[in-house]
C-alpha cells in the first residue's frame, strides 16, 4: 500500500480550481483555435490572443504538463485530442461548457458555504436569482447554457439507440436544445417528437430540429412542467431534470407527467446520475454538490429515484449505464 503525504493531498485538492481557471483562460483566449490556425509559438499565440508572450508561455507550459496541449515554445505547441474538443464549432465542442463552468458556475461555487448554511443555491447568493430565472433574464444566457449542456450530452446516442421508441410519440419534457430529441427521431424514423420547454428556451430547439429532422416529424410546445405537459404520448423523457429540484418539486413534476401518461403501455425515461450507496463513483458525488450549489438540486441513490417515482404512481422497470457515469431509468405507470 502506498502512503500519501497528507500535506501533499491537501495541496493537490486546493490547486484543483487553478487547473479549471487555467483551462478556462486558454479557452476564453481561444488558444486552441489560434493553434489550429497555425499560431504555434508563444510569440504568435500571444499576438493572436493579445496577451503577454511570457504569460502565455507559462500558461501553455502548465496546460501541456496536464495533457491539454502538446509540443513546446521552441518546436511549436500542438493540439491534443483534449484541446481539439475545446475549439469553437467542432462537433462535440466543449468550449461553451468550459466558459460557463469558468464564469457563472465558478462564481456560484464561491458561495458554497452560504448554500450549505441556508439550503438556497449558491447561484442565488452570487447572482441574486435562481439559475433558471437568470437564464430567462439574461440575453444569450439560455442558448449558451444549452450549448454547454450539449457538450455534456455524450450519452444522447446511447439513449436513442438503447430504447425502442417504435413509431409512437415521444415527448422530451424540458428537452433543452432538442439534440436528444433529434437523436431519437433520427434513430427511429417512424417516431414523432414533441419538444417541451419554457417559452424563453424553445427557440434553440426549434432551429436545431428544423435543420436536422423533417418538419412534419416534430412539434415544439412551450409551458411549465409543474402545471402540465402534452398528454397521451407513448414515451416521456426527463433528461437531467430531476437533478435541479428538491424531492417535493420532483414529485410535483413527476405527478404532472404521470397524469399525462394515458396508456398502461406508456413509459417514462429518466436520465440522471445515480449515487452509489457506498459512494464508489466520484462523478455523481461531484455533481451532487454542484447541483446543490447551482440549483438547490441533487443527485440521488437508486432508492431515492424509486421513492420519487413511487410517490408519483410510477414504478422503476429497468436501469442501464450510459456514458459519463449517467444512467437511463425506465419507469412505467403502477
Ligand atoms: C439541465 S437542463 C436539461 C436540458 C435537456 N433535457 C438535456 O438533458 O440537455 C434543464 C431544462 O429544464 C427546463 N426547465 C426549467 N424549469 C422548467 C419548467 N418549469 N417547465 C419546463 N421546463 C423547465 C430548462 O429551460 C432547461 O432546458
CA distances from 264 to 163, 170, 253, 281 (A): 17, 15, 19, 35
d(CA 199, CA 145): 15
Q: Atom 14 of ligand 1 has which residue's CA nearest to it?
A: 174
Give me the pLDDT at residue 279, please.
86
Mutate which of 123, 134, 176 to test ligand 1's pocket (most atoms within 8 Å of Cβ)?
176
Q: State in Å: Cα 67 to ligand 1 middle.
A: 34
Contact indicator for 269, 319 with CB cutoff of 8 Å: no
- DSSP states along 180-230: HHHHHHHH-TT-EEEEEE-TTTHHHHHHHHHHHS-GGGEEEEE--TTT---
Q: Which atom of ligand 1 is nearest to the CA of 271?
A: 8
**Which residue from 239, 177, 229 is spatially nearest to 208, judged by alpha carbons?**
177
DSSP class of 75: T
The whole-number average pLDDT for the span 156-163 is: 95
The whole-model pTM stands at 0.93
Q: Which pLDDT tens digit goes with each residue over 246-266?
A: 999 999 999 999 999 999 999
Q: Is 80 exposed, middle or buried (0-12, 13-18, 19+ CB in 10 A)?
A: middle
Q: Is 199 left (phi over 0), alpha (psi -120 to 50) or beta?
A: alpha
Give me the pLDDT at residue 1, please.
61
In short, whether 178's Cβ falls inside 6 Å of ligand 1 is: no
Is the pLDDT at 4 greater than 90, yes or no?
Answer: no
In short, whether 201's Cβ falls inside 6 Å of ligand 1 is: yes
The whole-number average pLDDT for the span 138-166 is: 93
Partners of 77 in beta bridges: 71
Q: Which atom of ligand 1 is nearest to the CA of 132?
A: 15
Q: State in Å: Cα 233 to ligand 1 middle.
A: 19
The whole-number average pLDDT for the span 297-324 is: 97
All domains in the chain, ordered by first residue: 6-84 (1.10.10.10), 95-149 (no CATH), 153-274+295-333 (3.40.50.150)
Strand 169-173 with 192-197, pairing: parallel
Q: Which pLDDT tens digit goes with each residue over 93-136?
A: 999 999 999 999 999 999 999 999 998 999 999 999 999 999 99
Contact indicator for 294, 108 with CB cutoff of 8 Å: yes
- The proportion of the chain whose per-residue pLDDT surpasses 90, expressed as a percent, equals 96
Q: Which pLDDT tens digit goes with each residue over 48-88?
A: 999 999 999 999 999 999 999 999 999 999 999 999 999 99
The whole-number average pLDDT for the span 216-237 is: 97
d(CA 52, CA 49): 9
Residue with cell 502548465: 62
Contacts for 183 with CB less than 8 Å, ≥ 6 apart = 156, 157, 159, 160
In short, whether 142's Cβ falls inside 6 Å of ligand 1 is: no
Q: Which atom of ligand 1 is nearest to the CA of 172?
A: 6
Q: State in Å: Cα 224 to ligand 1 middle.
A: 10
Contact indicator for 325, 299 with CB cutoff of 8 Å: no
Mean pLDDT of the chain: 96
The whole-number average pLDDT for the span 269-273 is: 98
Is the pLDDT at 3 greater than 90, yes or no?
Answer: no
In short, whether 174's Cβ falls inside 6 Å of ligand 1 is: yes
* SS3 (DSSP) at 177: coil
Q: Atom 11 of ligand 1 has which residue's CA nearest to it?
A: 174
**Which residue from 256, 273, 261 is spatially nearest to 324, judged by alpha carbons?**
273
d(CA 181, CA 329): 17
pLDDT band at 215 (very low <50, low <70, confident <90, very high): confident
Mutate which of 92, 135, 198 to test ligand 1's pocket (most atoms within 8 Å of Cβ)?
198
Nine-digit cell at 167? 413509431
In short, whether 124's Cβ falls inside 6 Å of ligand 1 is: no
In short, whether 249's Cβ falls inside 6 Å of ligand 1 is: no
Q: State in Å: Cα 214 to ligand 1 middle.
A: 24
Amino acid at each position: 500500500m502506498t502512503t500519501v503525504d497528507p500535506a501533499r493531498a491537501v495541496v493537490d485538492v486546493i490547486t484543483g480550481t487553478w487547473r479549471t481557471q487555467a483551462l478556462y483562460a486558454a479557452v476564453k483566449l481561444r488558444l486552441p483555435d489560434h493553434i489550429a490556425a497555425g499560431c504555434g509559438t508563444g510569440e504568435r499565440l500571444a499576438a493572436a490572443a493579445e496577451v503577454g508572450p511570457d504569460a502565455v508561455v507559462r500558461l501553455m507550459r502548465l496546460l501541456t504538463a496536464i495533457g491539454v496541449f502538446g509540443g513546446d515554445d521552441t518546436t511549436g505547441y500542438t493540439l491534443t485530442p483534449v484541446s481539439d474538443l475545446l475549439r469553437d464549432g467542432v462537433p462535440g465542442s466543449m468550449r461553451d461548457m468550459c466558459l460557463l463552468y469558468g464564469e457563472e458556475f465558478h462564481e456560484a461555487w464561491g458561495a458554497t458555504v452560504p448554500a450549505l448554511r441556508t439550503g438556497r443555491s449558491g447561484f442565488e447568493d452570487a447572482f441574486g436569482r435562481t439559475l433558471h430565472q437568470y437564464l430567462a433574464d439574461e440575453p444569450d444566457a439560455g442558448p449558451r447554457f444549452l450549448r454547454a449542456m450539449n457538450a455534456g450530452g455524450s450519452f444522447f446516442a446511447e439513449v436513442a439507440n438503447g430504447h425502442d421508441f417504435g413509431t409512437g410519440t415521444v415527448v422530451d419534457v424540458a428537452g433543452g436544445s432538442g439534440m436528444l430529441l433529434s437523436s431519437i427521431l433520427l434513430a427511429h424514423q417512424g417516431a414523432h417528437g414533441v419538444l417541451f420547454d419554457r417559452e424563453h428556451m424553445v427557440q434553440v430547439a426549434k432551429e436545431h430540429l428544423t435543420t436536422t429532422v423533417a418538419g412534419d416529424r416534430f412539434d415544439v410546445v412551450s409551458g411549465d412542467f409543474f402545471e402540465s405537459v402534452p398528454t397521451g404520448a407513448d414515451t416521456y423523457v426527463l433528461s437531467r431534470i430531476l437533478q435541479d429540484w428538491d424531492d417535493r418539486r420532483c414529485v410535483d413534476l413527476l405527478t404532472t407527467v404521470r397524469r399525462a401518461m394515458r396508456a398502461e403501455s406508456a413509459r417514462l425515461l429518466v436520465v440522471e446520475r445515480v449515487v452509489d450507496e457506498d459512494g464508489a463513483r466520484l462523478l455523481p458525488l461531484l455533481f451532487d454538490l454542484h447541483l446543490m450549489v447551482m440549483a438547490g438540486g441533487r443527485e440521488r441513490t437508486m432508492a431515492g429515484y424509486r421513492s420519487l417515482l413511487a410517490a408519483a404512481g410510477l414504478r422503476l422497470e429497468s436501469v442501464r449505464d450510459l456514458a459519463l457515469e449517467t444512467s437511463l431509468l425506465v419507469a412505467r405507470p403502477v
